[in-house]
């Protein structure tokens, strides 16, 4: 048996080189990617310690096999109650490491191939949830403007709705990313180090001007800070949104019991742009989608667009004449 497969120190060194050399130095992966892969390996190595009795520093490459990975994926779903999408994301991190192992350790090629053969799970994609214009307006007005928190939350919701930003993009906005003179806009730092500029509506720009003056913000400060001046966290944004939904539900009781997240507002922005007649390719750029194909889900969710399409179709009782080809060759082809 190869010493590379049975040596714990070799496995430890391989994992370290995967993160330092492969991800950070060679691929220049984003901090978000490195953190996601790191969290996957922390979970995986902790699971391995419980199931096979090997601590991370005593584990060997031969023990990092297909059965361990399949058990780990089952554990994520059954014990940690992760969604299938989260399970697939963890598998993607493990696959990336398996690719690296196949290149670095030919003796472990069979182990790597077995791991790479583990398929991603299919899952049902739920219909996109979004708010009506009336519900969204009520949500924007929900925070109390007489308090610091209320003013901050109004800016938070207005920017979310205007830009369709992801939470990670929202909390990274600094004052230096905002242009308020002339054509107002905001620069968003998206996934995979991609940046995009989104125009600001006049109402949003006016709100931001008042907020910047009220806060005396400097260019390097977050636009939407916590009370201590630091960027808000994901959980903080979700918590403040829940409070706004609770307030808005007094005027719109149908909001109660609905799962309204910051991503729901992103969907709402896309749907309202679509309903206003904005081209789907423009919406894809607005949201920072890799391809307009990703944006097609919003068309699927818009019932009113389907109803308009249905109205253009002739009802079944309307008789239509069938084309009768006069040419013998066309007739032959028609009858095939």
- Annotated catalytic sites, by residue? 166, 191, 263, 266, 289, 298
Question: Are the C-beta atoms of residues 266 and 284 closer than 8 Å to each other?
Answer: no
Q: Tokens 């220049």 map to which residue?
A: 28
Please tell me the distance from the alpha carbon of residue 115 to that of residue 76, in angstroms, as a whole number: 17
Count, residues in the chain: 336
Contact (CB, 8 A) for 304 and 275: yes
Cα separation, 304 vs 114, in Å, equals 48
Beta-carbon contacts of residue 141 (< 8 Å; ≥ 6 apart): 248
User: Can you say whether the dihedral through the CA atoms of 18, 20, 24, 29 is positive or negative?
Assistant: positive
User: Rounded to 5 degrees, what angle do the CA atoms 248, 250, 255 make?
Assistant: 60
How many angstroms separate the most distant Cα atoms in the chain? 83
Please answer whether residues 89 and 258 qualify as being in contact, where contact means their C-beta atoms are separated by less than 8 angstroms.
no
Q: Taking the CB of residue 280, how many other CB atoms lie within 10 A of it?
A: 16
């Amino acid at each position: 048996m190869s010493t590379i497969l049975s040596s714990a120190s070799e496995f430890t060194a391989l994992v370290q080189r995967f993160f330092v050399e492969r991800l950070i130095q060679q691929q220049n992966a984003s901090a978000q990617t490195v953190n996601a892969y790191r969290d996957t390996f922390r979970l995986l190595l902790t699971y391995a310690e419980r199931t096979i009795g090997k601590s991370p520093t005593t584990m060997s490459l031969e023990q990092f096999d297909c059965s361990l990975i399949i058990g780990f994926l089952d554990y994520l779903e059954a014990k940690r109650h992760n969604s299938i999408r989260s399970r697939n994301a963890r598998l993607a991190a493990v696959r990336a490491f398996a690719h690296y192992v196949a290149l670095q350790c030919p003796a472990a090629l069979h182990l790597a191939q077995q791991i790479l053969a583990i398929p991603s799970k299919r899952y049902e994609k739920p219909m996109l949830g979004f708010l009506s214009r009336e519900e969204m307006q009520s949500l924007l007005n929900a925070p109390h403007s007489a308090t610091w928190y209320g003013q901050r939350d109004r800016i938070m919701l207005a920017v979310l709705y205007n830009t369709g930003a992801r939470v990670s993009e929202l909390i990274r906005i600094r004052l230096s990313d905002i242009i308020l003179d002339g054509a107002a806009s905001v620069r968003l730092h998206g996934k995979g180090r991609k940046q995009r500029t989104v125009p600001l509506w006049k109402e949003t720009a006016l709100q931001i001007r008042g907020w910047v003056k009220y806060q005396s913000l400097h260019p390097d400060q977050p636009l939407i800070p916590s009370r201590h001046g630091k960027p808000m966290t994901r959980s903080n944004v979700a918590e403040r949104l829940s409070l706004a939904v609770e307030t808005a539900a007094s005027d719109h009781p149908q909001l109660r019991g609905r799962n309204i997240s910051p991503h729901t507002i992103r969907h709402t922005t896309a749907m309202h742009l679509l309903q206003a007649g904005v081209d789907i390719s423009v919406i894809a750029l607005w949201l920072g989608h890799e391809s307009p194909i990703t944006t097609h889900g919003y068309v699927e969710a818009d019932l009113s667009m389907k109803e308009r399409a249905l109205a253009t179709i002739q009802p079944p009782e309307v008789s239509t004449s069938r084309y009768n080809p006069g040419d013998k060759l066309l007739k032959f082809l028609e009858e095939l």
